[in-house]
Chain A
Amino acid sequence: MDTFLGLYNYWIYVGLLVVGLYAVLLKGNYIKRMIGLGIFQAAVFLLFISMDKVEGGTGPIFRYGQDITTIFANPLPQVLILTAIVVSIAVTALGLALAIRIKEEYGSIEESDTLRADRDE
């Protein structure tokens, strides 16, 4: 049981990684692929944040009059992921802008349609 709960977050991370990658590789719709990319990124976020937890610890923000023996979580993974979340939304916005332009030029956001249009030219 202890092993199960101790590793459960890693298994969920593997699941998210595979689900996200599935959408990116095997779905033909470009916006669905952006959604898959978001899930893939979230899987990486989850892996990093799982690392920061220390048993019996608390968030790495000091308090007045705290006990000298207080254990704090690891701040470093949090810093990396904090910035990565905002970068991920910026990247998603860029991908969505590309999808909008593809729709305007090809009339569709399906990969099969755009490939066919490219072949016919």
Chain B
Amino acid sequence: MLEVCGLALLVTMGLALSRGVLGPSIFDRVLAVNMIGTKTVLLLSVIAFLYDRPDFIDLALAYALINFIGVMAILQFVQNKALRNPSVEKTVSQDRPPEA
């Protein structure tokens, strides 16, 4: 059963990876990375049980904490494009989403 779960996680990673390859916008890619990160946390926990070493779950814990930093860095980079490139300032500078 754990093998099946591992396989399901890997298949989902493959699907997310193809979304990242296809993804027309940057946000699709970020979404794919975020998803692969969460799936890695689960995969590491499942492998720890599959190998009968539950004391190695520290690793999954590390990823659960660290993934957030990477995603924050990526989003900060995207949000600050305006400051680096004055030509896009107009579209990005409003903090509020555009009214529908």
Partner-contacting stretch, out of B35-43, B49-57, B60-68, B70-78: B49-57
Interface segment, one of A2-10, A28-36, A57-65, A75-83: A57-65
Q: By the criterion of a CB under 8 Å from any partner CB, how many residues of chain A are at the interface?
A: 4
Interface size range of chain B in the complex: under 10
Q: Shortest beta-carbon distance, B94 to chain A, in Å?
A: 30
Contact bitstring A3-26, B, C-beta under 8 A = 1, else 0: 000000000000000000000000
A118 to chain B, nearest CB (A): 27
**How many angstroms between the C-alpha atoms of A61 and B52 in the bound complex?**
13
Q: Is A58 within 8 A of B55, CB to CB? A: no
Please provide the chain B residues from 18 to 54 with a CB less than 8 Å away from any CB of chain A in the complex. Answer: 51-53
Residues of A with Cβ closer than 8 Å to B? Answer: 58-59, 61, 63
8 contacts between A and B (CB under 8 A): A58-B51, A58-B52, A58-B53, A59-B51, A59-B53, A59-B56, A61-B55, A63-B55
